[in-house]
């Protein structure tokens, strides 16, 4: 069962050519056939079918919501009341969400059907989805390769047609990088565009929920529903949400900046560089103005990002103490041992590494040398990014420096793993929206993505440009 867009699916739904129950059954069958990918930690099969029946009744009575027929998977750090949520960590083993995330409430209100929770790097910390306490997710294109992270399960679920749309979270590239590795569309909205209420926090000044989809149209439809003000999250913008899907039109004749420093960066695949050059030539040939611009802060972005995010992680993850919820060590005998043993047993190696790094940079001896300095660098990066976007409509760059790498290839080299984020951390540091879109295939047969960034709250223009560029590169 295949539909190009949600709009196409809904046309068939209204015409009676297909039912929500049939759609859900089709996805459940695909999930069962692809359990080896390890994308899903839990499938809500019975519940999804029951919800599908209810939506079918609404369709018959012409009272369906905007997302009727949309089958959605949730990254395992988004709360869904009455369902387990663990951030793919043993520290939250046995924990059940006591309320719905705002994005979940909004999906359900528009008749989306949630089919399960998706594997991810533990607490969204990773670029390969090898850090999950429940095993790695496999790339559906080549099972020997990683899907990217941290939203690897979300990307693979869409890649392998296990659900129509998946929600992920993007802190430093956790939606866009796996989207590039799996040939899907992934968006990090403007910071504050989508409520973080119900998202298990990693780094609160960076985290954003966003969609992984198989089309720009579906991305627009979902963003329109999940974005907007939320009384539970004071960081969310009060701006009225546009009708993204209705106003989705391919756009051209724009001014596009290409960061020259990215094209000369160490580790950038020559093949990906060649594809970026092809995109530049295609854009110019179609009447767009494309210029190379200098951004001399590229080498500072990854260190700045990891100083700040580990500091925030150290604070955010202190709540997992073995006292209130989640895992409590059976070997503990007093308050101190409960705290130490529970965290030792519950957290994986990468989470421990980042907590320790964050605690170090927040310590009194090193606070000014690292944390304060990193905050200053972040402000410079934001200012310089905004300066570029005053003169240009968009910034174009690769999503990742390489194609999806082999499982285990970088597992024992955290620095190499962190450098996989070199092109994706700029957007969250600056707080701006960014999209990775599939624009081609490497000689190996693996997909790769190009990344577009726009100014704050210009998601409509970004979606329009993404649709245009995708169609242009398709030929």
Residue 243: C-alpha distances to residues 1, 66, 76, 240, 398 (Å): 28, 12, 28, 10, 28
Give me the DSSP letters along 373-440.
HHHHHHHHHHHHHHHHHHH-SEEEEES-SSSPPBTTSSTT-HHHHHGGGTTTSHHHHHT--EEEEEEE
Q: Which of 86, 151, 169, 174 is flagged as catalytic?
A: 174
- Tokens (6 digits) for 279: 């995109």
Q: How far apart are CA 45 and CA 51, in angstroms?
A: 10
88 belongs to the catalytic site: no
Using alpha carbons only, how large is the chain's radius of gyration in Å?
21
Q: Which of 66, 75, 193, 467 is flagged as catalytic?
A: 75
End-to-end CA distance of the chain: 26
174 belongs to the catalytic site: yes
Q: How far apart are CA 127 and CA 177, in angstroms?
A: 7
Residue 217: C-alpha distances to residues 14, 165, 191, 214, 303 (Å): 19, 11, 21, 9, 35
Cβ burial of 266 (10 Å; 0-12, 13-18, 19+) is exposed
Q: Which of 150, 195, 314, 466 is flagged as catalytic?
A: 150
Residue 456: C-alpha distances to residues 56, 213, 239, 395, 453 (Å): 38, 22, 11, 13, 9
- Tokens (6 digits) for 391: 């003169």
Query: What ranges make up the beta strands (E) of 234-315?
Result: 255-259, 289-293
Give me the DSSP letters along 428-463.
HHHT--EEEEEEEE-TTS-EEEEEEE-STT-HHHHH
Furthest C-alpha separation in the chain: 71
86 belongs to the catalytic site: no
Give me the DSSP letters along 8-32.
HHHHHHHTTSS-HHHHHHHHHHHHH
Catalytic annotation, residues? 75, 150, 174
């Amino acid at each position: 069962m295949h539909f190009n867009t949600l709009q196409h699916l809904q046309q068939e739904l209204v015409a009676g050519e297909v039912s929500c129950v049939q759609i859900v059954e089709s996805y459940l069958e695909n999930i069962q056939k692809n359990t080896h990918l390890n994308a899903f930690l839990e499938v809500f099969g019975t519940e999804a079918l029951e919800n599908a029946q209810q939506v079918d009744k609404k369709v018959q009575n012409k009272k369906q919501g905007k997302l009727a027929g949309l089958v959605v998977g949730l990254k395992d750090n988004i709360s869904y009341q009455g369902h387990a949520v663990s951030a793919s960590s043993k520290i939250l083993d046995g924990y059940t969400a006591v309320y719905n995330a705002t994005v979940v409430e909004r999906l359900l209100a528009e008749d989306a059907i949630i089919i399960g929770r998706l594997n991810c790097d533990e607490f969204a910390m990773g670029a390969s989805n090898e850090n999950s306490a429940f095993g790695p997710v496999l790339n559906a294109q080549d099972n020997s390769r990683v899907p990217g992270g941290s939203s690897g399960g979300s990307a693979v679920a869409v890649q392998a047609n296990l659900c129509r749309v998946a929600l992920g979270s993007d802190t430093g590239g956790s939606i866009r990088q796996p989207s590039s590795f799996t040939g899907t569309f992934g968006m990090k909205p403007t910071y504050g565009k989508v409520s973080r209420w119900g998202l298990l926090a990693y780094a609160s000044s960076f985290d954003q929920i966003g969609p992984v989809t198989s089309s720009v149209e579906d991305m627009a439809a979902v963003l329109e529903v999940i974005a907007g003000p939320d009384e539970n999250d004071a960081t969310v913008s009060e701006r009225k949400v546009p009708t993204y899907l209705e106003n989705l039109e391919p756009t051209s004749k724009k001014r596009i900046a290409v960061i020259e420093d990215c094209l000369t960066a160490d580790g950038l695949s020559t093949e990906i560089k060649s594809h970026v050059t092809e995109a530049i030539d295609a854009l110019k040939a179609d009447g767009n103005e494309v210029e190379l611009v200098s951004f001399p802060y590229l080498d500072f972005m990854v260190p700045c990002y990891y100083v700040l995010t580990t500091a925030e992680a150290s604070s955010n993850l202190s709540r997992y103490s073995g006292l209130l919820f989640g895992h409590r060590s059976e070997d503990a005998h007093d308050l101190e041992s409960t705290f130490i043993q529970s965290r030792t047993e519950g957290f994986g190696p990468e989470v421990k590494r980042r907590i320790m790094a964050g605690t170090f940079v927040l310590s009194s001896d090193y606070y000014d040398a690292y944390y304060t300095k990193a905050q200053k660098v972040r402000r410079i990066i934001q200012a310089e990014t905004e300066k570029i976007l005053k003169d240009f409509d968009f910034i174009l760059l690769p999503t990742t420096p390489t194609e999806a790498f082999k499982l285990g290839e970088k597992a024992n080299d955290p620095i190499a793993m962190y450098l996989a984020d070199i092109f994706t951390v700029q957007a969250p540091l600056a707080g701006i929206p960014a999209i990775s879109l599939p624009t081609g295939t490497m000689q190996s047969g693996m997909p790769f993505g190009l990344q577009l960034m726009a100014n704050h709250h210009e998601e409509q223009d970004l979606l329009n440009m993404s649709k245009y560029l995708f169609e242009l590169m398709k030929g």
